[in-house]
Amino acid sequence: MYWVNESVFYHIYPLGFCGAPRVNDGKLEYRLDKVIDFIPHLKKMNVNAVYFGPVFKSTTHGYDTNDYYNIDNRLGDNESFARICQALHDNGIKVVLDGVFNHVGRGFWAFEDVRKNCQGSPYCSWFQNLNFGGNSPWGDPFWYEGWEGNYDLVKLNLRHPDVKKHIFDAVAMWMDKFKIDGLRLDVAYCMDQDFLRELKHFCKNRDSQFWLMGEIIHGDYARLANPDLLDSCTNYECYKGIYSSHNDHNYFEIAHSLNRQFANGGIYHNIYTYNFVDNHDVNRLASTLRDPAHGKNAFSVLYFMPGVPSVYYGSEWGIKGQKNRTEYDYPLRPCVNVSDIEENELFRHVCRLGAVRRKYKALKYGTFMNTVIRNEQLVFKRKFEDETIYIALNLSDKDFDMGFNTDGGSKLYDVFDGKTVYDVNGNYANITIPAYGTRVLLLTDGAKPEYPDAGEEGEFAPEEPAAVQQEQAPAQEERKPLPPVGAPGKYRHFKGGEYEFICLAKDSETSEELVIYKALYGDQKIWARPSAIFYQYVDVDGREVPRFEKID
């Protein structure tokens, strides 16, 4: 599943994200269209896969499905959602939907027919343990099985051929109309395994790269995540270990889980787990951590441990939310707009994590091994082929000096801060981990690496403190002239990235003049920017410098 290995996920709970009414009012509103406005934000985070919670028609929270074939009217319609999926795909972002197949809502059309026609309904056998020997808690003249005792969620009979056909035909429609790339299977831990086996066969025959991930809260992940059933599963063990180890100042806890799961011979070393620090069912990370300064390191563990990382919308800038007895899960699922985004220190940290993870294969495919474990410090190694990276974490409020043995090499380059280098002498290195800090140390034979790019124009390295910049800035430096518009050659962005001018172009809709230019580093992406902005001065510590300086 190579596209999954290369991914960083963004998890959206659509009804909450859009601020939709808690009970379906029947009105058609295109609320989910605002996802398109979030695409630049996702790309800045290096996100290339979105997992949408329930999007199909329901009565309340989305997990009480009424119609598998139509988007919930509170979010839009099938045509609007197809456009959303197309926009995401056009920007290199995969789409995964929530497959809620274990149960449906009481408003599901086939169950409504049973309520209306009782024994005369042809759909009585569609529902698990439905019989007319008693009354349901809702007052129906029949009894049925609700999911985990919740009788607003009617359990389907997943062994019934017509039920399977109805669901599989819906999945085929989603794959054809919306071009979805995978499914997250709700409550997979209690679903019929023969159904899961048939679903996998059906999906893989249509698309061998289609991804199936199951929700597993506890127990043996390999029971469902294996070659016969699902590709992946939720990693609740490490979810708990990440926040708990920071709260208790005890890195031994998460180190134990990572070793147990992923080290050589670990029980899940062949499963590419779906990892997270919070989601729509559990308290937000910012509300769970006792010290908010630990948020950055919690995300560092998430991004650099084996498996694929997933960020729950808003947590990248520290949204809080806790369950309570009156609001239940709703505080975990707030409405968020582009204007609410805070590009704070945590957000910038998460952006850099995504850039580093996507750059290095060792962080996506590598083996895992703990190197140093202390209560407040942890170093672990990821290795793939000839690439070795050490992740060093410090959850204390003071810088920490430490040493550890390496796999040879002569230098350790911190590809996270983009500037720190340590010597390796006799396969041993001494390093300093900043307070509440993360180092991502690439082992080399001395050759300086090409540092990863967090987005356009190499905006990767964290800004120096203002006082340091003041000391380094030349006093009273004269303003450099802007280059002539359209002059061919190489240009250097004021933050360091180098580019090649390609041509001037005109926007077909607005006739705005655009500069087309190509990065001379990394993936050599091609960019377009209005010429009025390309040829412009910017303020850097009180000095006006060209946004792009011509260098040849």
pLDDT tens for residues 51-76? 999 999 999 999 999 999 999 999 99
CA distance to 153, 168, 231, 305, 526, per residue, from 364 (Å): 38, 32, 16, 9, 25
pLDDT tens for residues 204-230? 999 999 999 999 999 999 999 999 999
pLDDT tens for residues 87-111? 999 999 999 999 999 999 999 999 9
pLDDT band at residue 456 using 50, 70 and 90 as cut-offs: very low
If you ran DSSP here, which 8-state letter would residue 109 be given? Answer: H
Residues ≥6 apart with Cβ < 8 Å to 385: 361
- pLDDT at residue number 460: 45
Examine the pLDDT at 465 and tell me if it is beyond 80: no
Examine the pLDDT at 541 and tell me if it is beyond 90: no
- pLDDT at residue number 548: 87
Cβ pair 551, 480 in contact under 8 A: no
Classify strands 490-493 and 438-444 as parallel, antiparallel or unpaired. Answer: unpaired
CA distance to 13, 38, 97, 210, 262, per residue, from 3 (Å): 22, 22, 16, 10, 20
Give the SS3 label for residue 194.
helix
pLDDT band at residue 454 using 50, 70 and 90 as cut-offs: low
Q: Which one has a higher pLDDT value, 549 or 47?
A: 47
If you ran DSSP here, which 8-state letter would residue 143 be given? Answer: B
Q: Tokens at residue 1, please?
A: 């599943």
Q: What's the rounded Cα separation, in Å, for the pair 250 and 83?
A: 47
Give the DSSP per-residue string, 450-468: -----SGGGTTSPPPPHHH
Q: Which one has a higher pLDDT value, 462 or 332?
A: 332
Examine the pLDDT at 330 and tell me if it is beyond 50: yes
Is domain 480-550 classified as CATH 2.30.30.320?
Answer: yes
- pLDDT at residue number 508: 72
Q: What's the rounded Cα separation, in Å, for the pair 405 and 428?
A: 4
Over range 435-451, report the average pLDDT.
95
Q: Scan for tokens 């560092």, then name that residue.
A: 300
Examine the pLDDT at 455 and tell me if it is beyond 50: no
Whole-model pTM: value is 0.83
The residues spanned by each domain of the chain are 2-102+159-362, 103-157, 366-444, 480-550
pLDDT band at residue 461 using 50, 70 and 90 as cut-offs: very low
Nearest to 373 by CA among 356, 395, 399: 395
- pLDDT at residue number 527: 87
Cβ pair 171, 206 in contact under 8 A: no
Amino acid at position 392, single letter: A
Most confidently modeled range among 386-395, 447-456, 472-481: 386-395
Range with lowest mean pLDDT among 9-18, 149-158, 467-476: 467-476
Residues ≥6 apart with Cβ < 8 Å to 443: 388, 389, 390, 406, 407, 408, 409, 411, 412, 424
Percent of the chain past pLDDT 90, that is, above it, reads: 83
Q: Scan for tokens 């204390």, then name that residue.
A: 396
Other C-beta atoms within 10 Å of 14: how many? 24
pLDDT tens for residues 131-143? 999 999 999 999 9
Range with lowest mean pLDDT among 214-218, 376-380, 440-444, 509-513: 509-513
What's the CATH class of domain 103-157?
alpha beta
Is domain 2-102+159-362 classified as CATH 3.20.20.80?
Answer: yes
Which helix (H) or strand (E) segment holds residue 15: the answer is helix 14-17
Note the helical H segments in 174-250: 193-206, 236-247
Note the helical H segments in 339-411: 345-359, 362-365
Cβ pair 391, 370 in contact under 8 A: no
Examine the pLDDT at 509 and tell me if it is beyond 80: no
Q: Tokens at residue 171, please?
A: 């999945």
If you ran DSSP here, which 8-state letter would residue 174 be given? Answer: I
CA distance to 126, 156, 166, 450, per residue, from 119 (Å): 12, 17, 21, 70
- pLDDT at residue number 478: 64
pLDDT band at residue 542 using 50, 70 and 90 as cut-offs: low
Range with lowest mean pLDDT among 137-146, 458-467, 475-484: 458-467
Chain length of the chain: 552
Amino acid at position 362, single letter: A
Classify strands 211-214 and 182-185 as parallel, antiparallel or unpaired. Answer: parallel
Nearest to 255 by CA among 305, 218, 297: 305
Q: What's the rounded Cα separation, in Å, for the pair 494 and 490?
A: 13
Right CATH for 366-444 from 3.30.950.10, 2.60.40.1180, 1.20.1250.20, 2.40.160.20:
2.60.40.1180
Residues ≥6 apart with Cβ < 8 Å to 231: 1, 4, 211, 212, 213, 225, 272
Classify strands 9-12 and 49-52 as parallel, antiparallel or unpaired. Answer: parallel
Q: Tokens at residue 464, please?
A: 């120096």
- pLDDT at residue number 310: 98
Over range 185-211, report the average pLDDT.
98
